[in-house]
């Protein structure tokens, strides 16, 4: 590829959806903005691949170069700065804060959850050190003065992908897609209300349930959400589809890579199976599909399509033409794109160490409807339950299912999303 791998997502159209991520970290005490500003700019030095600005090359393509200006830290406001603009010192990220909350805003082109969470954790670690004059025991957090990991800046390439024939091919059973909700969420000003709620559960209850039915955390949430949707969807709908992201960096030999490159897992649930009440069988279906669809022979071809898309973009000259090419060939919206009824993502178990003593919760906020982002800390799991419309029935059904499975939870009110967009030329 001609350009930095992380630059290709910058061509995304944002007329309807923002291509950014917002991480909300709620501290146990009110945020000190002066200390936060110092801590943020200490921590960013550990992540040079995030401290960048966008340039346009001779062929009209975007690329990323180092940006040594300070990361902007502002009080949360109605006006949301655009990434890449002078307002945020040309960075593709900025921080805002309000009361006890610290919000990390970053371009999704730079990383996915597993890629940007180390930066978030390093920053919060540094903030705790600076604010309280302590050095928390947190071996799972990368320290600001540490070296880059061996494959941290390695980009995916075709020679990392397997050429073996797929052991499995997903054949869609045509699950229900929430088109009516999406249309209201996108176009109806009386219905549109992009929001999120924080669902908090105790790890011990999740682990107990997962062991009982021989499931992982991700599989358990997929099963729970499928049962929740069964409670609220019309009888005529036959198939409920769960979708989940998978980052194959481990089996590509680049376990530390920060870049966002994903394959997708699809599990189609028949209403009859959901209503049988056989949670173990639902778990087996889910676990089996996860094993099959994360196999390199199945997941790597999806990454290959992404790399080929980027190579195709390189053959087009001119920024306008490149944007057009990427829009017309968008893998997530083309005729071959597969979508579920709902979508979940799990960043995995993250060890905050003693830093967790200073944090109430943290969640990842992105675009999406019936999109669930799962994060973990110490003895708790947090589910960011996101919608495009203000509707209670989905999250209440999810709560009911968790209770039925022996997992009590706490749910916040609906918070309006504040996602930045890019302000590139």
Residue from 150, 161, 358, 359 nearest 257 by CA: 150
Can you give the pLDDT at residue 351? 96
Can you give the pLDDT at residue 16? 85
CA angle in degrees (0–180, nearest 5) for 364-367-372: 50
Q: What is the mean pLDDT of residues 169-192?
A: 94
Can you give the pLDDT at residue 302? 95
238-261 per-position pLDDT tens digit: 999 999 999 999 999 999 999 999
128-140 per-position pLDDT tens digit: 999 999 999 999 9
In-domain check, residue 142: no
In-domain check, residue 94: yes
Mean pLDDT of the chain: 96
Helix (H) or strand (E) holding 33: helix 33-43
Confidence of residue 293 (pLDDT cuts 50, 70, 90): very high
- Does residue 375 have a pLDDT over 80? yes
**Residues 174 and 239 sit within 8 Å (Cβ to Cβ):** yes
- Does residue 47 have a pLDDT over 90? yes
- Does residue 82 have a pLDDT over 80? yes
Adjacent-strand bridge partners of 94: 105
Tokens of 83: 């990434």
In-domain check, residue 140: no
Is 262 found in the same domain as 221? yes
Can you give the pLDDT at residue 316? 96
Q: For residue 284, how many C-alpha atoms fall within 13 Å in the half-sphere facing its CB?
A: 5
Is 189 found in the same domain as 110? no
Q: Which domain holds residue 82?
A: 5-132
Tokens of 22: 């917002």
Confidence of residue 281 (pLDDT cuts 50, 70, 90): very high
Q: What is the mean pLDDT of residues 141-167?
A: 97
Is 124 found in the same domain as 208? no
Is 176 found in the same domain as 39? no
Task: Provide the number of structural domains found in the chain.
Answer: 2
Give the β-pairing of 73-75 and 93-98.
parallel
In-domain check, residue 149: no
Is 44 found in the same domain as 108? yes
Q: What is the mean pLDDT of residues 58-84?
A: 97
- Does residue 298 have a pLDDT over 90? yes
Task: Give the number of other CB atoms < 10 A from CB of residue 60.
Answer: 14
CA distance readout (Å), 33 to 39, 90, 117, 156, 302: 10, 21, 21, 38, 43
By percentage, how much of the chain surpasses pLDDT 90? 96
Is 119 found in the same domain as 15? yes
- Does residue 419 have a pLDDT over 90? yes
Can you give the pLDDT at residue 153? 96
- Does residue 200 have a pLDDT over 80? yes
Is 255 found in the same domain as 193? yes
Can you give the pLDDT at residue 306? 96
Q: What is the mean pLDDT of residues 100-126?
A: 96
Can you give the pLDDT at residue 95? 98
Is 213 found in the same domain as 114? no
Give the β-pairing of 342-346 and 371-377.
parallel
Can you give the pLDDT at residue 332? 86
Is 178 found in the same domain as 101? no
Can you give the pLDDT at residue 23? 98
322-353 per-position pLDDT tens digit: 999 999 999 888 777 899 999 999 998 999 99
Q: What's the CA gap between 5 and 8, in Å, rounded?
A: 6
Can you give the pLDDT at residue 392? 96
Can you give the pLDDT at residue 406? 96
Can you give the pLDDT at residue 113? 86
Confidence of residue 145 (pLDDT cuts 50, 70, 90): very high
Tokens of 68: 């040594």
Tokens of 343: 């979508």
By percentage, how much of the chain surpasses pLDDT 70? 100
Is 198 found in the same domain as 76? no
- Does residue 66 have a pLDDT over 80? yes
**Residue 13: CATH number of its domain:** 3.30.559.10
Domain boundary, last residue among 84, 112, 132 = 132
169 by DSSP, 3-state: which?
Answer: coil
In-domain check, residue 156: no
Residue carrying the six token digits 């966002």:
260
Domain boundary, last residue among 108, 132, 156 = 132
Residue from 156, 117, 92 nearest 311 by CA: 156
- Does residue 395 have a pLDDT over 90? yes
Is 256 found in the same domain as 389? yes
């Amino acid at each position: 590829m001609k350009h930095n791998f992380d630059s290709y997502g910058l061509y995304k159209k944002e007329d309807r959806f923002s291509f950014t991520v917002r991480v909300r970290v709620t501290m146990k005490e009110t945020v000190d903005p002066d200390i936060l500003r110092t801590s943020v700019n200490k921590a960013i030095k550990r992540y040079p691949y995030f401290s960048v600005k966008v340039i346009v090359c001779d062929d009209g393509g975007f690329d990323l170069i180092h940006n040594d200006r300070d990361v902007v830290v502002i009080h949360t406001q109605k006006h949301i700065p655009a990434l890449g603009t002078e307002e945020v010192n040309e960075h593709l990220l900025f921080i805002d804060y309000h009361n006890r909350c610290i919000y990390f805003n970053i371009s999704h082109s730079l990383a996915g959850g597993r890629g940007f969470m180390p930066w978030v954790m390093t920053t919060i670690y540094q903030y705790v050190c600076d604010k309280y004059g302590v050095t928390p025991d947190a071996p799972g957090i990368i320290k600001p003065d540490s070296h880059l990991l061996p494959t941290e800046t390695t980009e995916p390439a075709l020679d990392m992908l397997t050429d073996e024939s797929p052991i499995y091919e997903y054949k869609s059973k045509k699950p229900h897609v929430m088109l009516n909700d999406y249309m209201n969420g996108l176009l109806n000003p009386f219905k549109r209300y992009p929001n999120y709620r924080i669902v908090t559960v105790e790890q011990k209850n999740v682990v107990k349930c997962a062991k009982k039915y021989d499931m992982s955390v991700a599989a358990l949430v997929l099963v729970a959400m499928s049962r929740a949707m069964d409670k609220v969807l019309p009888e005529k709908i036959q198939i409920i589809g769960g979708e989940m992201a998978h980052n194959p960096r481990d089996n590509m030999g680049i376990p530390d890579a920060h870049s966002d490159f994903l394959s997708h897992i699809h599990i189609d649930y028949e209403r009859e199976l959901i209503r049988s009440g056989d949670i173990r069988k639902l778990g087996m279906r889910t676990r089996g599909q996860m094993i099959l669809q994360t196999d390199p022979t199945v997941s790597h071809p999806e990454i290959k399509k992404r790399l080929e898309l980027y190579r195709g973009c390189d053959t087009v000259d001119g920024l306008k033409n490149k944007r057009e090419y990427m829009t017309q060939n968008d893998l997530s919206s083309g005729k071959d794109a597969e979508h579920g009824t709902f979508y979940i993502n799990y960043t995995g178990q993250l060890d905050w160490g003693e830093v967790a003593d200073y944090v109430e919760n943290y969640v990842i906020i992105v675009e999406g409807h019936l999109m669930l982002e799962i994060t973990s800390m110490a003895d708790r799991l947090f589910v960011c339950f996101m919608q495009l419309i203000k509707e209670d029935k989905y999250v209440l059904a999810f709560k009911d299912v968790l209770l039925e499975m022996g997992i009590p939870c706490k749910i916040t009110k609906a918070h309006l999303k504040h996602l930045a967009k890019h302000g590139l030329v």
